Amino acid sequence: GRTRMSVGDILNLKSGSVVTLGKLAGDFVDVLVNDKLVARGEVLILNDRFCVRIAEIVSPEERQDVSGG
């Protein structure tokens, strides 16, 4: 599951907003900012809602451009 959002779209998210990712609870996901890997996390269900628990912050030296270009 992957989605692309602008910073403006992210800033407009409110409690109850839905972001479709196509992942299930227990799946691991990469968190990217400007096509750079910044964190890794696990999809969880908390209070009947999906969320991502950040498990690892990637150091600036390890951040990769994953845009493919």
The per-residue pLDDT for range 8-54, each reduced to its tens digit, is 888 898 888 888 777 889 999 998 888 888 999 999 998 888 888 99
Cross-sheet strand order for the sheet of 36-46 = 28-33, 36-46, 49-57
What's the structural domain count of the chain? 1
pLDDT the model gives residue 22:
79
In contact, 29 and 17? CB cutoff 8 Å: no
Asked, for residue 26, whether it belongs to a domain, the answer is yes
Asked, for residue 18, whether it belongs to a domain, the answer is yes
Asked, for residue 66, whether it belongs to a domain, the answer is no
Asked, for residue 42, whether it belongs to a domain, the answer is yes
Asked, for residue 68, whether it belongs to a domain, the answer is no
Residue 41 is part of which domain span? 7-57
